[in-house]
Copies of this chain bind each other. A is one copy, B any other.
Amino acid sequence: MAITVVGSVAYDTIETPAGKRERCLGGAATYFSLAASYFTDVRVIAVVGDDFGRRQEAVFEARKIDTRGIEHTAGKSFFWEGSYLDNLNEAKTHNTELNVFASFEPKIPEAYRDSEYLFLANIDPVLQRRVREQMPDVKLVAGDTMNYWIKDHRPALLEVLKGLDILLINDTEARMLAGNNNLVQAARGVLSLGPQTLIVKHGEYGATAFFSEHSFPQAKSPHHAFRAPALPLEEVVDPTGAGDSFAGGFFGYLASQRELTPAVFRRAMFYGGVMGSYACERFGTERLQQLTRKEIDDRFTVFRELTHLD
């Protein structure tokens, strides 16, 4: 079943110990879409400037991602510049230019209206909410956010959280959002703000899902938490977009399944980890453009073997 995703489609200039790339295709919605496209149909809502051309468009087309919701407007596309020279786990931002995103008014194409899954990638919560409100009938809504919105745009973000089934954020963001340094207590705090389920991403250590009583209404026994590993990687070329790729693999797999059971959710977390690990293997979206479903399933097997007990 189709996913509609709203978020940034952007240019990134990235420096890591492996080298530097100028203005490569990036943005949360781009990474999410590419990762999810290996599992299900994906439709993007974003805005780009007149610097976004055929070559960039072709990246989406090659993965059969619907780009009719990408608005083209005069000006420059969203631009981010960052580096990971000291610490591959945390980007140092040198420059963020919202450009055409500053005045973006998201519109949902008619062809997107029957999407059953909605992903609100990390953008201004005001925009996330507008998209959510225009798609009241979706079956499942997940979303992401970041420290900037948690800290300085809290009221708008709290409104978004009320309409989310699943929130995906990292450790620091979860602690900041709940105002509690203990992850279990922070998770409970976040779940009380609206989402039925919280996924906390731990970067190279994997991710933990915290469930509420509403996560699996059909399940016989309560499910409190699930932890999926990340693959220890031999070489991390560029961690940009790993979290968005995790979200794409996770949500893409969920959307490809008939029912949301605890077992499906767990496998989805593993697929998220798989897509996040692939994203790091080359600069920008290079690796995510070139995968096969067999490579994805092979790595799923490696992940399972990495943590399998008996």
Interface, chain A (partner B; CB < 8 A): 88, 181-185, 187, 202, 204-206, 208, 210, 225-229, 232-236, 263, 266-267, 270, 304, 306-310
Contacts and interface: CB of A to CB of B under 8 A. Distances in A.
A110 to B, nearest CB: 40
Give the number of times this chain occurs in the complex, counting copies. Answer: 2
Most buried by B among A227, A266, A308: A227
Nearest to A89: B181
18 contacts: A88-B182, A182-B233, A182-B236, A183-B232, A184-B233, A187-B232, A202-B205, A206-B229, A225-B232, A225-B306, A226-B307, A227-B229, A227-B307, A229-B229, A263-B309, A266-B309, A304-B309, A307-B307
A187 B88 CA distance: 17
A266 B308 CA distance: 8
Q: Which of A187, A234, A267 has the most CB of B within 10 A?
A: A234
Contacts of A205: 202, 205-206
Contacts of A304: 309
Given A182-B234, A266-B308, A307-B307, 6 more contacts: A182-B236, A183-B232, A185-B234, A225-B306, A228-B307, A308-B309
A172 B281 CA distance: 23
Contact of A309 (B202, B235, B270): B270
A85 to B, nearest CB: 11
Nearest to A221: B305
A234 B266 contact: no
A306 to B, nearest CB: 5
Nearest to A183: B232
A181 B309 contact: no
Given A204-B183, A205-B205, A306 B232 contact: no
Given A226-B307, A227-B229, A309-B304, A184 B234 contact: yes
Contacts of A181: 88
A308 B234 CA distance: 25
Given A263-B310, A309-B266, A208 B227 contact: no
Contacts of A228: 307
Contacts of A208: 232
Q: Which of A185, A225, A266 has the most CB of B within 10 A?
A: A225
A281 to B, nearest CB: 13
Contacts of A266: 308-309
A228 B307 CA distance: 6
Contact of A226 (B182, B267, B306): B306
